Amino acid sequence: MFDVAIIGCGPVGAFAANLLGKSGASVLVIEQEARPYPLPRAVHLDHEMMRLFQSAGVIDRVAPDMRDTQGHLHVGADHGVIRYMGTVGRARPFSWSNDYFFYQPELEDHLRDALNRFTNVTVQLGVAFEGLEQNGDGVTLRLSGGRVEQARYVIACDGARSAVRKALGVKLDDLDFEEPWLVVDAQVDGPVRFPDLWGVPQDADLQNLSVMMCDPKRPATIVPGRGRHRRWEFMLLPGEDDQAMMAPQAVAALVEPYLSGVPHKVMRAATYRFHGLIAERWRQGGVFLAGDAAHQTPPFFGQGMCHGLRDAANLAWKLDMVLKGKAHDGLLDSYQPERDPHVRAVISAAVGAGRYICMLDPEAAAERDARMREAAKSVQHGTAADLIPAIATGIVAAGTAGAGERFIQPRVGDCLLDDVTGGGWRLFTRAPIDGGDVTMIDVAALDDEGAIAYWLADRKAQAVLVRPDHYVFGTGNPADLIARRDALIAGLARQEVAA
């Protein structure tokens, strides 16, 4: 029997397998296709993902293929800027750039190749999940070719049409947003052309930003990929036919204003329905849903896959503690209460943006432009990273300063903090104590230019306890923090036993 079986080796499944493989668990990965899907869907990820790639030990493989960029710019109907989420000159809390663009098949290749490091990870390609049964001892998987495998836990990372989710009878909560868009990928030899735009901040480089044209005539996004790759997304207007819009002449007409005179080759054009959906249950017995199997996000802030990688990071440390006997199975019940509100908040932000981006009435669009410009006068512009909320319920010391936030990762000398401290539970304090499985880090001895001492002072805290997924458990007195964590984990175990 495997400790964990992962169904689907897309980005989320492959990432989960890397984290669990690194923790020493015996892992089985089942993937129906021999190769990663050859065309990109996701193109953007944020700095938290780079930190998670560090945790999984894959950063050296993936970082060279990442293009760091300057964030997002939204342009109104009159071609004036209405929202700027640029990152130039902004803090880099995790020491990575805030936004990166990448080529999804390359990322998936790297994540799959990295699994060859582990003798405890078995990858079966060309094998499909067909059904499952659960009893108290674990999960029995029925796979194509009449094969049967057993695992103590299963993570379903089998994408939006998840056969596992369907087998469990889990329904999707529809957040009432569905819009048809045409996605065009091209190899481009030269800078993309833009119409004359006004109000573009001086430090903004259009070639290096994701630009959203909120033009009621045809809402569109123009995204810089890595290398020569460029992405366009065009909203389909009412009555337009998917097949007709995917035809080469229609695609050429849509990209022409941006590529007139610029050598390029269109690699693909495909229509998608952008929608907001969340599974009603993320856990059933020993089976967990993660990634697109659990939720789907309109890609206006490029967060769909990022959610999935956060799911995997959240589950991986909890499974590790349970499998090593450091916590009871009830700890795993905190997965959905932590992840669901987090995902819901970001989907709501993306759906909210989608509603104003997809506005097709010129009068409403003009009113929107005026309202957004007025609002922008009183608010200093944020970055897309500001859309990510803190974890409010679950394994956090609610009510303490900073609880549920993502902890900073300053540079420590020539290194990054997590590479110096290692993973796991970490307590940063000036007065280390014996913390059992918690790594004690003396803040005074860290060569981080006082970054963590400043973070603590800012929250008037003696110490901060950080979870293995880099979210802050809480701040306060070291002994109290560890006692509170242990009580919380034991409390969840009691609930599980009572249930």
Ligand X SMILES: Cc1cc2nc3c(=O)[nH]c(=O)nc-3n(C[C@H](O)[C@H](O)[C@H](O)COP(=O)(O)OP(=O)(O)OC[C@H]3O[C@@H](n4cnc5c(N)ncnc54)[C@H](O)[C@@H]3O)c2cc1C
Q: What is the DSSP string of 283-339?
A: EETTEEE-GGGTEE--GGGS-HHHHHHHHHHHHHHHHHHHHTTSS-GGGGGGHHHHH
Q: Nearest distance from residue 46's CB to ligand X, in Å?
A: 8
Among 292, 338, 405, 469, binds ligand X (CB under 6 A): 292
Q: Nearest distance from residue 104's CB to ligand X, in Å?
A: 7
Q: How many CB atoms lie within 10 A of CB 375?
A: 11
Among 6, 19, 20, 45, binds ligand X (CB under 6 A): 45
Q: Does 299 bind ligand X (CB under 6 A)?
A: yes
List, in sequence order, the alpha helices (H) in 59-131.
59-62, 104-114
Judged by beta carbon, residue 182 or residue 456, the one nearer ligand X is 182
Judged by beta carbon, residue 41 or residue 72, the one nearer ligand X is 41
Query: How far is it, in rounded angstroms, from Cα 118 to Cα 57?
Result: 12
Q: Does 33 bind ligand X (CB under 6 A)?
A: yes
Q: Does 123 bind ligand X (CB under 6 A)?
A: no
Q: Does 96 bind ligand X (CB under 6 A)?
A: no
Q: Does 105 bind ligand X (CB under 6 A)?
A: no
- Sole window of 40-48, 234-242, 370-378, 465-473 interacting with ligand X (rule: CB under 6 A): 40-48
Q: Nearest distance from residue 130's CB to ligand X, in Å?
A: 7
Q: What is the DSSP string of 430-447?
A: SS----TTSEEEEGGG--
Both structure tokens of 229: 């790759």
Judged by beta carbon, residue 124 or residue 462, the one nearer ligand X is 124
- Sole window of 201-209, 248-256, 302-310, 414-422 interacting with ligand X (rule: CB under 6 A): 302-310
Judged by beta carbon, residue 173 or residue 367, the one nearer ligand X is 173
Burial (CB < 10 A; 0-12, 13-18, 19+), residue 377, is exposed
3-state secondary structure 240-286: CCHHHHHCHHHHHHHHHHHHCCCCEEEEEEEEEEEEEEEECCCEECC
For residue 261, the cross-strand partners are none
List b or e across 22-33, with b for residues whose CB sees 16 or more CB atoms inside 10 angstroms: bbebbbbbbbbe
Q: Does 11 bind ligand X (CB under 6 A)?
A: yes
Of 153, 146, 113, 116, the C-alpha closest to 128 is 146
Local structure of 190: helix, strand or coil = coil
The DSSP secondary-structure symbol of 423 reads: S
Q: Does 298 bind ligand X (CB under 6 A)?
A: no
Q: Nearest distance from residue 311's CB to ligand X, in Å?
A: 8
CA atoms within 13 Å, Cβ hemisphere of 432 = 14
Query: How far is it, in rounded angstroms, from Cα 475 to Cα 199?
Result: 42
Among 22, 41, 426, 467, binds ligand X (CB under 6 A): 41
Q: Nearest distance from residue 17's CB to ligand X, in Å?
A: 11
Q: Does 71 bind ligand X (CB under 6 A)?
A: no
Instruction: Say which amino acid occupies 363.
Output: E
Say how many residues make up the chain.
499
Local structure of 141: helix, strand or coil = strand
Q: How many CB atoms lie within 10 A of CB 90?
A: 17
Q: Nearest distance from residue 327's CB to ligand X, in Å?
A: 26
Q: Does 235 bind ligand X (CB under 6 A)?
A: no
Q: Does 303 bind ligand X (CB under 6 A)?
A: yes
Q: Does 306 bind ligand X (CB under 6 A)?
A: yes
Q: Nearest distance from residue 292's CB to ligand X, in Å?
A: 4
Q: Does 32 bind ligand X (CB under 6 A)?
A: yes
Judged by beta carbon, residue 7 or residue 464, the one nearer ligand X is 7
Q: Does 128 bind ligand X (CB under 6 A)?
A: yes
Residues 6+ apart with CB under 8 A from 362: 77, 216
Q: Nearest distance from residue 471's CB to ligand X, in Å?
A: 19
Question: Which string of x and - marks every residue 182-201 that binds ligand X (by CB under 6 A)?
Answer: -x------------------
Q: Which stretches of the chain bind ligand X, using CB under 6 A?
A: 7-13, 30-33, 41-45, 128-129, 157-159, 163, 183, 272, 291-292, 299, 302-306, 308
